[in-house]
Protein backbone atom coordinates (compact mmCIF):
# COMPACT_ATOMS: atom_id res chain seq x y z
CA UNK A 1 0.00 0.00 0.00
CA UNK A 2 1.34 3.35 -1.04
CA UNK A 3 1.60 6.04 1.58
CA UNK A 4 1.80 9.53 0.14
CA UNK A 5 4.45 11.80 1.57
CA UNK A 6 2.79 14.42 3.70
CA UNK A 7 3.10 18.07 2.81
CA UNK A 8 4.92 20.67 4.88
CA UNK A 9 1.55 21.99 5.94
CA UNK A 10 0.35 18.64 7.19
CA UNK A 11 3.51 17.97 9.08
CA UNK A 12 3.30 21.39 10.70
CA UNK A 13 -0.21 20.55 11.85
CA UNK A 14 0.82 17.09 12.95
CA UNK A 15 3.18 18.62 15.45
CA UNK A 16 0.23 19.76 17.48
CA UNK A 17 -2.52 17.26 17.00
CA UNK A 18 -2.80 13.67 15.89
CA UNK A 19 -4.59 13.64 12.56
CA UNK A 20 -7.21 11.04 11.80
CA UNK A 21 -7.18 9.45 8.36
CA UNK A 22 -10.28 11.40 7.44
CA UNK A 23 -8.65 14.66 8.40
CA UNK A 24 -5.53 13.75 6.51
CA UNK A 25 -7.54 13.07 3.39
CA UNK A 26 -9.48 16.28 3.78
CA UNK A 27 -6.29 18.26 4.10
CA UNK A 28 -4.85 16.64 1.00
CA UNK A 29 -7.98 17.48 -0.97
CA UNK A 30 -7.88 21.03 0.36
CA UNK A 31 -4.31 21.51 -0.78
CA UNK A 32 -4.74 19.94 -4.17
CA UNK A 33 -1.85 20.14 -6.56
CA UNK A 34 1.24 22.16 -5.85
CA UNK A 35 2.43 24.79 -8.30
CA UNK A 36 6.18 25.14 -8.84
CA UNK A 37 7.46 28.69 -8.88
CA UNK A 38 10.86 30.24 -9.50
CA UNK A 39 12.67 32.94 -7.59
CA UNK A 40 11.01 36.34 -8.05
CA UNK A 41 7.79 34.83 -9.41
CA UNK A 42 4.63 36.40 -8.08
CA UNK A 43 2.47 34.43 -5.72
CA UNK A 44 0.01 37.32 -5.42
CA UNK A 45 0.30 40.63 -7.16
CA UNK A 46 -0.96 43.78 -5.47
CA UNK A 47 -2.29 45.08 -8.75
CA UNK A 48 -4.71 42.24 -9.40
CA UNK A 49 -7.79 41.43 -7.30
CA UNK A 50 -7.39 38.18 -5.49
CA UNK A 51 -9.57 35.84 -3.49
CA UNK A 52 -7.12 33.04 -3.01
CA UNK A 53 -5.08 31.63 -0.21
CA UNK A 54 -1.69 30.02 -0.70
CA UNK A 55 0.00 27.37 1.38
CA UNK A 56 3.77 27.25 1.09
CA UNK A 57 5.00 23.81 0.21
CA UNK A 58 8.68 24.60 -0.11
CA UNK A 59 10.92 27.62 -0.42
CA UNK A 60 10.58 31.14 0.91
CA UNK A 61 8.17 33.87 -0.11
CA UNK A 62 8.13 37.51 0.91
CA UNK A 63 5.37 40.14 1.09
CA UNK A 64 6.27 43.70 0.25
CA UNK A 65 4.44 46.99 0.58
CA UNK A 66 5.50 49.59 -1.94
CA UNK A 67 4.73 53.23 -1.96
CA UNK A 68 5.74 55.40 -4.85
CA UNK A 69 9.43 55.86 -5.18
CA UNK A 70 11.65 53.04 -4.08
CA UNK A 71 10.22 52.98 -0.58
CA UNK A 72 9.65 49.32 0.18
CA UNK A 73 8.78 47.49 3.36
CA UNK A 74 8.96 43.75 3.78
CA UNK A 75 5.95 42.96 5.91
CA UNK A 76 6.06 39.20 6.11
CA UNK A 77 8.29 36.25 5.35
CA UNK A 78 6.80 32.85 4.60
CA UNK A 79 8.40 29.45 4.83
CA UNK A 80 7.27 25.88 4.15
CA UNK A 81 3.97 25.15 5.87
CA UNK A 82 2.92 28.79 6.20
CA UNK A 83 -0.40 30.12 5.00
CA UNK A 84 -0.36 33.24 2.86
CA UNK A 85 -3.34 35.52 2.60
CA UNK A 86 -5.32 34.80 5.74
CA UNK A 87 -4.45 38.17 7.19
CA UNK A 88 -6.09 40.03 4.33
CA UNK A 89 -9.05 37.78 3.77
CA UNK A 90 -11.40 40.74 3.87
CA UNK A 91 -9.87 42.69 1.01
CA UNK A 92 -10.42 42.02 -2.66
CA UNK A 93 -7.09 43.56 -3.55
CA UNK A 94 -4.07 42.43 -1.56
CA UNK A 95 -2.40 45.24 0.40
CA UNK A 96 1.02 43.90 -0.53
CA UNK A 97 2.66 41.95 -3.28
CA UNK A 98 3.97 38.50 -2.52
CA UNK A 99 6.83 36.99 -4.48
CA UNK A 100 8.99 33.91 -4.19
CA UNK A 101 12.28 34.65 -2.51
CA UNK A 102 13.73 31.30 -3.54
CA UNK A 103 12.58 28.60 -5.91
CA UNK A 104 9.76 26.61 -4.37
CA UNK A 105 6.17 25.54 -4.69
CA UNK A 106 2.80 26.51 -3.29
CA UNK A 107 -0.71 25.14 -3.04
CA UNK A 108 -3.39 27.56 -4.18
CA UNK A 109 -6.97 27.48 -2.99
CA UNK A 110 -9.91 29.83 -2.75
CA UNK A 111 -10.95 31.58 0.43
CA UNK A 112 -14.29 29.92 0.10
CA UNK A 113 -12.74 26.48 -0.02
CA UNK A 114 -10.77 27.17 3.13
CA UNK A 115 -13.83 28.41 4.98
CA UNK A 116 -15.95 25.49 3.84
CA UNK A 117 -13.20 23.24 5.05
CA UNK A 118 -13.20 25.12 8.34
CA UNK A 119 -16.91 24.54 8.81
CA UNK A 120 -16.39 20.82 8.26
CA UNK A 121 -13.35 20.54 10.52
CA UNK A 122 -13.67 23.05 13.34
CA UNK A 123 -10.81 21.60 15.34
CA UNK A 124 -8.39 21.84 12.43
CA UNK A 125 -9.63 25.29 11.55
CA UNK A 126 -9.00 26.51 15.07
CA UNK A 127 -5.47 25.18 14.86
CA UNK A 128 -4.89 26.80 11.48
CA UNK A 129 -6.07 30.13 12.85
CA UNK A 130 -3.80 29.67 15.84
CA UNK A 131 -0.82 29.01 13.63
CA UNK A 132 -1.61 32.09 11.58
CA UNK A 133 -1.88 34.13 14.76
CA UNK A 134 1.74 33.32 15.56
CA UNK A 135 2.81 35.26 12.49
CA UNK A 136 0.61 38.16 13.48
CA UNK A 137 2.22 38.17 16.91
CA UNK A 138 5.68 38.07 15.39
CA UNK A 139 4.70 41.11 13.34
CA UNK A 140 3.66 42.89 16.51
CA UNK A 141 6.97 42.09 18.11
CA UNK A 142 8.80 43.41 15.09
CA UNK A 143 6.79 46.60 15.23
CA UNK A 144 7.82 47.06 18.83
CA UNK A 145 11.45 46.39 18.00
CA UNK A 146 11.39 48.83 15.10
CA UNK A 147 9.80 51.63 17.05
CA UNK A 148 11.74 51.27 20.26
CA UNK A 149 15.01 49.44 19.70
CA UNK A 150 18.29 50.70 18.28
CA UNK A 151 19.23 49.58 14.79
CA UNK A 152 21.60 46.95 16.12
CA UNK A 153 19.02 45.55 18.51
CA UNK A 154 16.45 45.48 15.74
CA UNK A 155 18.77 43.45 13.59
CA UNK A 156 19.53 40.99 16.37
CA UNK A 157 15.85 40.63 17.12
CA UNK A 158 15.12 39.99 13.47
CA UNK A 159 17.76 37.30 13.21
CA UNK A 160 16.44 35.59 16.32
CA UNK A 161 12.94 35.65 14.87
CA UNK A 162 14.01 34.12 11.56
CA UNK A 163 15.96 31.48 13.42
CA UNK A 164 12.98 30.67 15.64
CA UNK A 165 10.65 30.46 12.67
CA UNK A 166 12.93 28.27 10.63
CA UNK A 167 13.20 25.88 13.55
CA UNK A 168 9.49 25.26 13.18
CA UNK A 169 10.22 23.69 9.83
CA UNK A 170 13.33 21.74 10.62
CA UNK A 171 15.44 21.58 13.69
CA UNK A 172 18.99 22.61 13.04
CA UNK A 173 21.50 21.12 15.37
CA UNK A 174 23.55 24.30 15.47
CA UNK A 175 22.54 27.93 15.59
CA UNK A 176 23.35 28.15 11.90
CA UNK A 177 20.55 28.80 9.43
CA UNK A 178 19.99 30.00 5.87
CA UNK A 179 19.00 33.61 5.28
CA UNK A 180 18.27 34.11 1.59
CA UNK A 181 17.86 37.87 1.83
CA UNK A 182 20.07 40.62 0.50
CA UNK A 183 21.21 43.34 2.86
CA UNK A 184 18.79 45.70 1.16
CA UNK A 185 15.96 43.29 1.89
CA UNK A 186 16.95 42.97 5.51
CA UNK A 187 16.88 46.74 5.64
CA UNK A 188 13.41 46.75 4.11
CA UNK A 189 12.23 44.45 6.86
CA UNK A 190 13.72 46.62 9.58
CA UNK A 191 13.31 50.14 8.31
CA UNK A 192 17.03 50.62 7.72
CA UNK A 193 19.15 51.29 4.68
CA UNK A 194 21.19 48.55 3.07
CA UNK A 195 24.33 50.50 3.86
CA UNK A 196 23.65 50.64 7.55
CA UNK A 197 22.67 46.97 7.64
CA UNK A 198 26.03 46.24 6.09
CA UNK A 199 27.87 48.20 8.76
CA UNK A 200 25.94 46.46 11.52
CA UNK A 201 26.54 43.00 10.11
CA UNK A 202 30.25 43.63 9.74
CA UNK A 203 30.36 45.02 13.25
CA UNK A 204 28.66 41.96 14.72
CA UNK A 205 30.97 39.76 12.74
CA UNK A 206 34.05 41.59 13.95
CA UNK A 207 32.98 41.30 17.55
CA UNK A 208 32.47 37.57 17.03
CA UNK A 209 28.76 37.57 17.75
CA UNK A 210 27.82 36.50 14.25
CA UNK A 211 29.31 34.28 11.55
CA UNK A 212 28.40 34.96 7.95
CA UNK A 213 28.92 32.33 5.28
CA UNK A 214 26.47 33.41 2.67
CA UNK A 215 23.72 32.55 2.49
CA UNK A 216 24.06 31.06 5.96
CA UNK A 217 24.17 32.85 9.26
CA UNK A 218 25.27 31.62 12.64
CA UNK A 219 24.35 33.37 15.87
CA UNK A 220 27.16 32.65 18.25
CA UNK A 221 25.61 33.72 21.52
CA UNK A 222 21.96 33.20 21.05
CA UNK A 223 20.97 33.10 24.69
CA UNK A 224 22.88 36.29 25.41
CA UNK A 225 21.01 38.08 22.66
CA UNK A 226 17.68 36.62 23.74
CA UNK A 227 17.95 37.82 27.32
CA UNK A 228 19.31 41.21 26.34
CA UNK A 229 16.48 41.84 23.90
CA UNK A 230 13.85 40.13 26.00
CA UNK A 231 13.15 37.92 23.02
CA UNK A 232 10.10 35.67 23.09
CA UNK A 233 9.94 32.67 20.78
CA UNK A 234 6.30 32.89 19.80
CA UNK A 235 6.49 29.88 17.53
CA UNK A 236 7.52 27.61 20.37
CA UNK A 237 4.79 29.00 22.61
CA UNK A 238 1.75 27.85 20.68
CA UNK A 239 -0.93 26.78 23.09
CA UNK A 240 -3.80 24.88 21.62
CA UNK A 241 -5.27 23.31 24.72
CA UNK A 242 -8.28 25.64 24.79
CA UNK A 243 -9.81 24.04 21.71
CA UNK A 244 -9.90 20.47 22.91
Residues that bind DNA (CB under 7 A): 150-152, 182-184, 187, 191-196, 198-199, 201-202, 214
| 126-146 burial: b if 16+ Cβ within 10 Å, else e | bbbeebbebbeebeebbeebb
As measured in angstroms, the least distance from the Cβ of 192 to a copy of itself is 8
Instruction: Quote the distance between the C-alpha of residue 207 and its chain's center.
Output: 29
Burial of 38 (0-12, 13-18, 19+ CB in 10 A): exposed
Looking at the Cβ atoms of 171 and 239, the one nearer to a copy of itself is 239
Please report how close the Cβ of residue 35 comes to a copy of itself at its closest, in angstroms: 20
Closer residue to DNA (CB): 102 or 198: 198
Within 13 Å, how many C-alpha atoms sit on residue 62's CB side?
Answer: 23
Choosing among a copy of itself, DNA, none, which partner's interface includes residue 12 (Cβ < 5 to 8 Å by kind)?
none
- State the minimum distance, in angstroms, from the CB of residue 143 to a copy of itself: 6
174 interface partner picked from DNA, a copy of itself, none, CB below 5 to 8 A per type: none
Whole-angstrom distance, CA of residue 59 vs CA of residue 80: 6
Tell me the C-alpha distance between 103 and 59, whole Å: 6
Q: Closer CB to DNA, residue 198 or residue 220?
A: 198
Nearest approach, Cβ of 241 to a copy of itself (angstroms)? 7
* Binding footprint of a copy of itself on the chain (CB under 8 A): 51, 65, 67-68, 71-73, 75, 86-93, 95-96, 110-112, 115-116, 118-119, 122, 125-126, 129-134, 136-137, 139-144, 146-149, 188, 190-191, 230, 232, 234, 237-243
- Contact status, residue 218 vs residue 174, Cβ threshold 8 Å: yes
Q: Which is nearer to a copy of itself, 58 or 101 (CB)?
A: 101
Nearest approach, Cβ of 98 to DNA (angstroms)? Answer: 17
Give 90's DSSP letter: T
CB of 194 to DNA, least distance (A): 6
Report yes or no: 16 and 10 within 8 Å, Cβ to Cβ. Answer: no
Contact 113, 30 (CB under 8 A): yes
Amino acid sequence: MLKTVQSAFQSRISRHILLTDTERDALSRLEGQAVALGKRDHVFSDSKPNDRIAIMRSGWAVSRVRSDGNQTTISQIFMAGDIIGLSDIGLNRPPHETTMQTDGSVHLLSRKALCDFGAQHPRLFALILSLASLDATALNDRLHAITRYSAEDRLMHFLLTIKAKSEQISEHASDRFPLPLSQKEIGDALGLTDIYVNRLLRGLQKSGQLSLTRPNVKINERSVWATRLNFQDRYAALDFSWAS
